Amino acid sequence: MIEVRELTKSYGPTLAVDRVSFDAKAGEVVGFIGPNGAGKTTTMRILTCYLTADAGNATVAGYDVLENPIDVRKNVGYLPESAPLYADMGVVEYLKFMAEVRDIPKSQRKERINKVIDICGLEGVIQKDIGELSKGYRQRVGLAQSLIHDPPILILDEPTSGLDPTQTIEIRNLIIEMGKEKLVLFSTHILPEVAATCSRILMINQGKIVANGTLEDLIEQVRSEEKIHLTIRGTEEEITPQLRELDGVTGVSHVKTDNGVVSYEITTSQEGYDASSKLFHAAQQNRWDLVELHHETIDLENIFLHFTTGISSDTPSNSIIIEEKDASEEE
Ligand SMILES: Nc1ncnc2c1ncn2[C@@H]1O[C@H](COP(=O)(O)OP(=O)(O)OP(=O)(O)O)[C@@H](O)[C@H]1O
Ligand SMILES: [Mg+2]
Segment 60-79, tens digit of pLDDT: 999 999 999 999 999 999 99
The ligand that comes nearest to the alpha carbon of residue 189 is 1
Residue closest via CA to ligand 1's atom 3 equals 11
Q: Does the domain made of 224-330 have the CATH classification 3.30.70.260?
A: yes
275-300: average pLDDT = 85
Q: 108 vs 114, 147, 153, 155, 297, CA distance in Å?
A: 10, 14, 20, 23, 50
What residue spans define the domains of the chain?
2-213, 224-330
| Amino acid 221: pLDDT | 81
User: Which pLDDT value is given to residue 301?
Assistant: 85
Mutation pick for ligand 1 pocket among 10, 15, 36, 43 (CB with most ligand atoms within 8 Å): 36
d(CA 219, CA 225): 11
- 3-class DSSP state for residue 92? helix
pTM (2 decimals)?
0.81
Q: Mean per-residue pLDDT for 4-16?
A: 97
Ligand 1, residues 42, 44, 46, 308: which to mutate, most atoms within 8 A of Cβ? 42
Phi, psi (degrees; rounded to nearest 5) at 262:
-105, 130
pLDDT at 126 over 90: yes
Which class is 2-213 in CATH?
alpha beta
Please tell me the number of the ligand nearest to residue 40's CA: 1
Amino acid letter for position 259: N
Q: Given this model, what pLDDT does residue 250 score?
A: 87
Q: Whose CA is nearest to atom 31 of ligand 1?
A: 37
Secondary structure of residue 78 in the 3-state scheme: strand
DSSP E strand stretches across 234-325: 249-258, 261-268, 289-295, 319-321
Please report which confidence band the pLDDT of residue 54 belongs to, taking 50, 70 and 90 as the band edges.
very high
Query: What number is the average pLDDT over the span 114-127?
Result: 93
Is the Cβ–Cβ distance between 191 and 301 less than 8 Å?
A: yes
Q: How far apart are CA 174 and CA 171, in angstroms?
A: 5
Is pLDDT of 212 > 70?
yes
Measured from the Cα of 38, ligand 1's closest atom is 21
Q: Convert the pLDDT of each residue in 24-42 to its tens digit.
A: 999 999 999 999 999 999 9
Choice between 296 and 243, residue whose per-residue pLDDT is larger: 243
Chain centre to alpha carbon of residue 129: 33
Which among 10, 40, 188 is the best mutation to test ligand 1's pocket, defined by most ligand atoms within 8 Å of the CB? Answer: 40
Arithmetic mean of pLDDT over the chain: 87
Q: Is the distance from the beta carbon of residue 14 to the nearest atom of ligand 1 less than 6 Å?
A: yes
- Using the atom order of ligand 1, give the atom closest to the CA of residue 34: 21
In DSSP terms, 77 is beta-bridged to 154
